[in-house]
């Protein structure tokens, strides 16, 4: 186990290193580094001083080592637009994104589980067929368009929910959160549902498949034969067993949710990391782009590593495969 | 073989129906009326896209025929140029129906084109991995794993951040995001197929390697590739639309459906829904019809589902 863990850790570090090289080359080899790293308003003397101080007169490999060394110390450059360290900008906005992603995950479970359960228990009813057709739509619908339609219906025509921003926030442990105030929560509903649309469909399908499989199992037959009420059979015996795969897959999808929040945040003007990166790309604020990419790569590697390790704990076959 | 049995069996009155694999495939596909309907819908969409310059009521990018006074007309109203705008007009006075027809052209071209290039790149690398094995195989598959562990939207964003906007860069981004699916699919079926006797026979005949790969191995790996390809076209169209919506995709001079939807975004809040609504419907119908066709193809072409 320790050997496996160590090997995975080394692999993860390798991926981060490879990605840092990719990002470095993306910024330095494809674009003109002077243009990228020095504000376009700078005059000639400033430019030359900046080139020297940034070490741009050094050979490329040496520059990469400098970049890497600074990155390890958490220095990923300063934003041209905000004139703040890029990393701090990203980290400032991370809670908003995480909050939205968690909200979407919770919404997917609250909405998807009951629908999937119903569709699994009564697979031939008209309602179940409608649910399944809806889940196909959920996979096919372009998320950004659904977001616009949500705004149109619930914010513009019905006027029930706000469509932009985070609303009121409360500071807990030095971080501002929206979900602790009614106003903030109401701001979160539309974006969270928009972001969770794909996941709702996923949860419905997983739950339905799980329920249909479980209903044929011996333990369900036995529970019925014991004379337990149908409710108890479904909500205690079946439910417990389908929950494990559903929770696993939803957890796995968390990284994808964070990535996809780029779209949702742009539509609903949610001030998270995703909106920041789109704005930065549009004004060519490259240090922020580099910092975002490094942070997100690190996040993904950590999520993938956590998933792999969890799998290893749950499924010994993975470990044996690694040895062979 | 026919000469030996000629006299033995009585000649049937009706000649037996010739059943080629292709006939069987068509018959099985047609068994689902939903899939056939989806195919028809997609054919109509493709036709509209191809014929847009001839059947659209207006050339939406010819500034001479546009009248800013016709801007943001409601669906069904008649503009100053005498054209009835069935789906309304956008802020520049462009007829939305024409805009959607022209937008479909760009969306379908970029989507299908990039899916095709991704297929070529991915299938070649997958085939190489399966045939070469060893270090080449593990190097390529490591790359595939790495690619698949990052969400498509993120990888595409990263590439466009470096390369900048533009149709070509969108195509590059989609190819980079999608090639891994093809590579994995082709490698999987090629690994199974290359152990079959017919490959062994072909190798024993000392056929050149490229002939074994392209004439023997590849045709037998096609079914799963077709299924993946269909689904990936839908994904490519959706991804292009998303990127264009975010303002990172196609330039404003060549608006795809995603960019049309983005144009209507600011008017959404004042209740002018049609600028975003109808291009979205067009996008939705396109994606759903491709997915339904792909679903049926998967059922027909997947030997595991056969009884």
Q: What is the pLDDT of residues A160-194, one digit of tens each?
A: 777 777 766 767 666 677 676 777 777 888 888 88
| Distance of alpha carbon B270 from alpha carbon B275, whole angstroms | 12
| Distance of alpha carbon A206 from alpha carbon A199, whole angstroms | 10
The torsion angles phi and psi of A178, rounded to 5 degrees, stand at -90, -30
Query: Which residue bears the tokens 């303002």?
Result: B247
| Mean per-residue pLDDT over chain B, rounded | 81
pLDDT, tens digit, 9 for 90 and up, residues B279-300 = 888 898 999 899 888 888 887 8
pLDDT of residue B1: 42
Handedness of CA A218, A220, A226, A227 (dihedral sign): negative
| Distance of alpha carbon B64 from alpha carbon B57, whole angstroms | 14
Best to test chain A binding among B148, B162, B273 (most A CBs inside 10 Å): B162
User: Strand (E) positions, A69-199?
Assistant: 170-172, 175-177
Residue B4 pLDDT > 50: no
pLDDT of residue B17: 63
pLDDT of residue A248: 73
Residue A241 pLDDT > 80: no
Q: Give which of A202, A200, A206 is closest to A104, Cα–Cα.
A: A200
Considering only CB atoms, which chain B residues are within 8 Å of A30?
Answer: 162-163
| Mean pLDDT value across residues B150-172 | 83
**pLDDT band per the 50, 70, 90 thresholds, residue A324:** very low
pLDDT of residue A321: 55
| Mean per-residue pLDDT over chain A, rounded | 79
Note whether B300 and B39 are within 8 A (CB): no
B38 or A185, greater pLDDT: B38
CB atoms within 10 A of CB A288: 29
Residue B13 pLDDT > 70: no
Is A259's CB within 8 Å of B151's CB?
yes
**A136 shares contact with chain B (CB less than 8 Å):** yes
**pLDDT band per the 50, 70, 90 thresholds, residue A46:** confident
Is A145's CB within 8 Å of B283's CB?
yes
Report residue A304 as tokens.
């993938």
Contacts of A116 (CB under 8 A, 6+ apart): A131, A203, A204, A205, A206, A207, A208, A210, A211
Helices (H) and strands (E) in chain B, counts: 12, 2
Q: Looking at the DSSP assignment, which residues form a beta bridge with residue A172?
A: A175
Which residue among B265, B271, B284 places its CB closest to the CB of A148?
B265
The torsion angles phi and psi of A175, rounded to 5 degrees, stand at -125, 140
pLDDT of residue B307: 41
Note whether A133 and A266 are within 8 A (CB): no
B80 or A264, greater pLDDT: A264
Please provide the DSSP assignment of A251-294 as one string. HHTHHHHHHHHHHHHHHHT--SHHHHHHHHHHTT-HHHHHHHHH
**A273 shares contact with chain B (CB less than 8 Å):** no
Best to test chain A binding among B157, B164, B261 (most A CBs inside 10 Å): B157
| Mean pLDDT value across residues A71-78 | 77
Is B271's CB within 8 Å of A156's CB?
yes
Is B248's CB within 8 Å of A296's CB?
no
Q: Percent of chain B, pLDDT > 90?
A: 9
pLDDT, tens digit, 9 for 90 and up, residues A201-212 = 988 988 888 888
pLDDT of residue A308: 73
Q: Percent of chain A, pLDDT > 70?
A: 85
pLDDT of residue B119: 92
**A302 shares contact with chain B (CB less than 8 Å):** no
pLDDT, tens digit, 9 for 90 and up, residues B196-205 = 888 888 888 8
A315 or A108, greater pLDDT: A108
- Of how many residues is chain A composed? 324
The SS3 of residue A67 is helix
| Distance of alpha carbon A220 from alpha carbon A215, whole angstroms | 6
Report residue A274 as tokens.
């995703």
Report residue B240 as tokens.
């292009």
What chain B residue is nearest to A305 in terms of C-alpha separation?
B149
Contacts of B303 (CB under 8 A, 6+ apart): none
Residue B273 pLDDT > 90: no
| Mean pLDDT value across residues B258-283 | 82
Report residue B102 as tokens.
């022209």
DSSP label at A235?
I
Is A256's CB within 8 Å of B151's CB?
yes
pTM of the predicted model over 0.95: no
Q: Looking at the DSSP assignment, which residues form a beta bridge with residue B95?
A: B89
Rg (C-alpha) for chain B, rounded Å, is 24
Q: In angstroms, what separates the C-alpha of B114 from chain A's closest C-alpha?
A: 18
pLDDT, tens digit, 9 for 90 and up, residues B79-117 = 666 677 777 777 776 778 888 888 898 899 999 999 999
A308 or A116, greater pLDDT: A116
pLDDT of residue B18: 66
Considering only CB atoms, which chain B residues are within 8 Å of A27?
Answer: 162
What chain A residue is nearest to B160 in terms of C-alpha separation?
A281
A191 or B5, greater pLDDT: A191
| Distance of alpha carbon B200 from alpha carbon B206, whole angstroms | 10
- B interface toward A at CB cutoff 8 Å? 146, 149-151, 153-154, 157-158, 160-163, 234, 238, 241-242, 245-248, 258, 261, 264-265, 268-271, 273, 276-277, 280, 283-284, 287-288, 291
CB atoms within 10 A of CB A137: 15
Note whether A179 and A185 are within 8 A (CB): yes
Contacts of A72 (CB under 8 A, 6+ apart): none
DSSP label at B73?
P
Q: Give which of A155, A165, A154 is closest to A187, Cα–Cα.
A: A165
**A282 shares contact with chain B (CB less than 8 Å):** yes
Is A27's CB within 8 Å of B162's CB?
yes
Q: In angstroms, what separates the C-alpha of A259 from chain B's closest C-alpha?
A: 6
**pLDDT band per the 50, 70, 90 thresholds, residue B121:** very high
Vertex B222, ends B218 and B225: CA angle to 5°?
120
Instruction: Average the pLDDT over each of A248-252, B221-225, B284-288 and give the range with the smallest value.
Output: A248-252
Which residue among A136, A137, A281 places its CB closest to the CB of B161?
A281
| Distance of alpha carbon A274 from alpha carbon A271, whole angstroms | 8
Instruction: Average the pLDDT over each of A92-96, B9-13, B25-29 and give the range with the smallest value.
Output: B9-13
Q: Percent of chain B, pLDDT > 70?
A: 86
What chain A residue is nearest to B272 in terms of C-alpha separation?
A152
CB atoms within 10 A of CB B166: 15
DSSP label at B4?
H
Q: Give which of B184, B99, B94 is closest to B147, Cα–Cα.
A: B184
pLDDT of residue B120: 92
What is the 3-class SS of A99-137, one letter each residue?
Answer: HHHHHHHHHHHHHHHHHHHHHHHCCCCHHHHHHHHHHHH
Instruction: Average the pLDDT over each of B78-82, B132-136, B170-174 and give the range with the smallest value.
Output: B78-82
Rg (C-alpha) for chain A, rounded Å, is 24
**A137 shares contact with chain B (CB less than 8 Å):** yes
Considering only CB atoms, which chain A residues are within 8 Å of B149?
Answer: 300, 304
Residue B7 pLDDT > 60: no
pLDDT of residue B117: 94
The SS3 of residue A211 is helix
**pLDDT band per the 50, 70, 90 thresholds, residue A144:** confident
**pLDDT band per the 50, 70, 90 thresholds, residue A140:** confident
Residue A56 pLDDT > 70: no
Q: CA separation (Å) from A307 to A19, B89, B123?
A: 20, 50, 29
Is A140's CB within 8 Å of B234's CB?
yes
Vertex B192, ends B191 and B193: CA angle to 5°?
95
B176 or B87, greater pLDDT: B176
Q: In angstroms, what separates the C-alpha of B148 from chain A's closest C-alpha?
A: 11
């Amino acid at each position: 186990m320790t050997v496996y863990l160590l090997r995975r850790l080394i692999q993860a570090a390798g991926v981060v290193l490879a990605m840092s090289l990719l990002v470095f080359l993306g910024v330095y080899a494809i674009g003109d580094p002077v243009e990228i790293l020095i504000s376009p308003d700078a005059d000639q003397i400033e430019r030359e001083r900046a080139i020297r101080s940034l070490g741009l007169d050094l050979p490329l490999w040496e520059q990469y080592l400098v970049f890497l060394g600074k990155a390890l110390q958490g220095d990923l450059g300063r934003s041209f637009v905000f004139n703040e360290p890029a990393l701090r900008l990203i980290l400032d906005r991370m809670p908003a994104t995480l909050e939205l992603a968690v909200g979407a995950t919770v919404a997917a479970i609250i909405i998807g589980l009951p629908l999937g359960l119903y569709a699994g228990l009564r697979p031939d009813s008209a309602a179940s067929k409608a649910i399944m057709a809806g889940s196909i739509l959920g996979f096919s619908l372009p998320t950004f368009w659904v977001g616009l339609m949500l705004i149109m219906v619930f914010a513009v025509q019905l006027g029930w929910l706000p469509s932009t921003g985070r609303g009121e926030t409360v500071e807990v442990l030095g971080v501002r959160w929206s979900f602790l105030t009614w106003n903030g929560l109401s701001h979160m509903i539309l974006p969270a549902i928009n972001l969770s649309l794909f996941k709702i469909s996923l949860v419905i399908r997983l739950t339905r498949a799980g329920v249909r499989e479980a209903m044929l199992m011996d333990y369900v037959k036995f529970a019925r034969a014991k004379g337990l009420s149908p409710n108890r059979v479904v909500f205690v015996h079946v439910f417990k067993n389908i929950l494990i795969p559903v929770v696993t897959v939803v957890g796995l999808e968390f990284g994808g949710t964070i990535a996809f929040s780029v779209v949702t945040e742009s539509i609903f003007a949610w001030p998270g990391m995703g909106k920041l990166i789109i704005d930065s790309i549009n004004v060519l604020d490259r240090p922020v782009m580099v910092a975002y990419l490094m942070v997100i790569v690190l996040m993904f590697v950590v999520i993938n590593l956590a998933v792999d390790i969890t799998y290893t704990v749950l499924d010994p076959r993975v470990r044996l495969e690694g040895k062979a | 073989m026919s000469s030996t049995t000629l006299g033995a069996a009585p000649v049937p009155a009706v000649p037996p129906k010739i059943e080629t694999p292709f006939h069987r495939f068509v018959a099985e596909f047609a068994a689902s009326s939903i899939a056939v309907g989806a195919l028809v819908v997609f054919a109509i969409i493709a036709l509209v896209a191809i014929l847009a310059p001839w059947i659209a009521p207006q050339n939406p990018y010819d500034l001479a025929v546009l009248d800013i006074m016709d801007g943001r007309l409601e669906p069904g109203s008649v503009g100053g140029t005498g054209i009835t705008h069935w789906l309304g007009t956008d802020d520049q006075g462009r007829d939305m129906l024409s805009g959607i027809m022209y937008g479909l052209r760009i969306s379908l071209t970029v989507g299908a084109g990039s899916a095709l290039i991704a297929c070529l790149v991915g299938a070649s690398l997958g085939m190489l991995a399966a045939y070469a094995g060893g270090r080449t195989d593990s190097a390529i598959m490591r790359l595939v794993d790495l690619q698949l562990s990052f969400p498509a939207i993120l990888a595409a964003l990263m590439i466009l951040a470096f390369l900048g906007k533009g149709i070509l860069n969108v195509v590059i981004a989609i190819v980079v995001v999608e090639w891994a699916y093809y590579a994995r699919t082709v490698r999987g079926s090629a690994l199974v197929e290359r152990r079959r006797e017919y490959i062994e026979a072909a190798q024993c005949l000392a056929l050149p390697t490229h002939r074994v790969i392209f004439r023997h191995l590849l045709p037998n790996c096609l079914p799963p590739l077709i299924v993946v390809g269909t689904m990936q076209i839908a994904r490519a169209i959706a991804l292009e639309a998303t990127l264009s919506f975010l303002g990172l995709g196609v330039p404003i001079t060549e608006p795809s459906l995603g960019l049309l939807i983005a144009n209507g975004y600011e008017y959404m809040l004042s209740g002018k829904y049609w600028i975003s609504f109808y291009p979205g419907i067009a996008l939705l119908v396109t994606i759903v019809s491709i997915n339904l066709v792909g679903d049926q193809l998967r059922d027909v072409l997947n030997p595991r589902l056969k009884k």
